[in-house]
Amino acid sequence: MSARETVLDGVTVVDLTTFVTGGFCSLMLANQGAEVIKVERPGYGDDNRHSGPPFVDGESPYFWTVNYDKRSVELNLKSEAGREALYDLVAEADVFIQNYRPGTEERLGVDDETLREYNEDLIYCSISAFGETGPWRERPGYDLLVQGMSGIMSVTGEEDGQPVKVGLPQTDLITAMWSAFGIMGALYRRERTGEGDYLELGMLDATLPWLTKQAGKVFAGEEPRRMGTKDPVLAPYQQFPTADGHVIVAALNQKLWRDLCTAIDREDLLADDRFAENADRVEHMDALEAELIATFEQRSTDEWMDVLVEAGVPAAPINDVDDALDNEQVRARNVVQEFDDGDRTVPVIEHPINYERADSGFESPPPRLGADTRAVFRELGYDEERLDELAAAGVFGEQED
């Protein structure tokens, strides 16, 4: 589809996933130049198309953020003709992704064993909540459940408050990134060996390695706890209230601690034995927090930012999402852009990888449901008579030529 020289030039991905986990995985591959063919249910499509409100002209902006640079094909996989059409797609593909509950893929005839009859070199990626084995393998699972079961919610929130969900679908995105990483590894291995592969991963498995500091405390015989924005092993490393908002301070070594105390005119803290070293500051974190709150509450966030940035102390305001998406740094890096396809203008958040010798980045807005069905199958060699037969049989949704 593209004349760019991308890392995944010539790689075709057939994506049967819904919602975010598989969608963000294939989105990452699309950003690196893969052609992603999104196979959707006729007339309805990916459930994420309907996530909301809000909607913009009937479309879900949430769906947009997970589906740039893809092509949409409608196929009824419960029909024999629909499955045969899918097999033709798979025969020419490099990667196949699905996120069905284990067992569903066999019932639909899209399991690894079946598809490998059509393409023995296929990279097949199966994503589920708990993986293909274990006593929980058939349980349904979503981000909220996995955040709870993985321990994330137990360490998120204020110390004296209830467990809190992270405000974004964190475990969906974690799993998506592991999936894309695994697919890239499998493609690299195939270049060396000529062999396809089967990848399977569960959301819970994917999330546990991200516990890092908290797992370290458990390994040391301690119990991690909710700490608000404080850190279990660093201090001061948290947000503090100011006269009109909040400021985040990350003074994570001795030099930065000294620079912070000097910048805020609290050199007295440097002489306090409770705060001498990082370990001391962690041990006396509550006392340190009280001292610093008393100082930071005296001035506004902007005033403190001027002071701390000038002193070279790592600090930041807590932006709302509007400000996070629109500020001088984001504009300078051209992270947030817009696509205009003539009918609509769609914002896009670019992905962060910038190569010196290869291209990356999105080129097109998310697809309308079924917009590419006929074009994709024409490219596979289907003539108009065959396309009309399939449409009449209900294999495709209503299509405009």
Domain annotation covers residue 360:
yes
What per-residue confidence (pLDDT) applies to 398? 61
Total domains in the fold of the chain = 2
Catalytic residue among 172, 197, 205, 372: 172
**Bridge partners, 246 (sequence order):** 241
What per-residue confidence (pLDDT) applies to 165? 97
- Looking from the CA of 38 toward its CB, the CA atoms found within 13 Å total 35
| 122 and 116 Cβ atoms separated by less than 8 Å | yes
What per-residue confidence (pLDDT) applies to 109? 97
What per-residue confidence (pLDDT) applies to 1? 43
Q: How far apart are CA 178 and CA 13, in angstroms?
A: 16
CATH number at residue 45: 3.40.50.10540
What per-residue confidence (pLDDT) applies to 401? 45
Which parts of the chain sit beneath pLDDT 50?
A: 1-2, 399-401
Q: How far apart are CA 200 and CA 212, in angstroms?
A: 23
- pTM of the model as a whole: 0.93
Of 278, 294, 317, which closes a domain?
317
Per-residue pLDDT of 10-57, as tens digits, reads 999 999 999 999 999 999 999 999 999 999 999 999 999 998 899 999
Of 285, 317, 349, which closes a domain?
317
Domain annotation covers residue 325:
no
Q: How far apart are CA 229 and CA 242, in angstroms?
A: 15
What per-residue confidence (pLDDT) applies to 3? 60
Q: Clarify whether residues 285 and 375 are in a common domain.
A: no
Per-residue pLDDT of 148-190, as tens digits, reads 999 999 999 999 999 999 999 999 999 999 999 999 999 999 9
Domain annotation covers residue 230:
no
Burial of 384 (0-12, 13-18, 19+ CB in 10 A): exposed
172 labelled catalytic: yes
Domain annotation covers residue 228:
no
Of 317, 345, 363, which closes a domain?
317
Q: What is the 3-state secondary structure (H, E, C) of the chain?
A: CCCCCECCCCCEEEECCCCCHHHHHHHHHHHCCCEEEEEECCCCCCHHHHCCCCCECCECHHHHHHCCCEEEEECCCCCHHHHHHHHHHHHCCCEEEECCCCCHHHHHCCCHHHHHCCCCCCEEEEEECCCCCCCCCCCCCCHHHHHHHCCCHHHCCCCCCCCCCCCCCHHHHHHHHHHHHHHHHHHHHHHHHCCCEEEEEEHHHHHHHHHCHHHHHHHCCCCCCCCCCCCCCCCCEEEEECCCCEEEEECCCHHHHHHHHHHCCCHHHHHCHHHCCHHHHHHCHHHHHHHHHHHHCCCCHHHHHHHHHHHCCCEEECCCHHHHHCCHHHHHHCCEEEEECCCCEEEEECCCCCCCCCECCCCCCCCCCCCCHHHHHHHCCCCHHHHHHHHHCCCCCCCCC
User: Which residue's structure tokens are 């962690």?
Assistant: 282
What per-residue confidence (pLDDT) applies to 29? 98
Distances 92 to 12, 23, 51 between C-alpha atoms, Å: 8, 21, 32
Residue numbers of the domain that contains 68: 12-210+331-392
Q: How far apart are CA 225 and CA 215, in angstroms?
A: 11
Domain annotation covers residue 292:
yes
| 297 and 243 Cβ atoms separated by less than 8 Å | yes
Domain annotation covers residue 221:
no
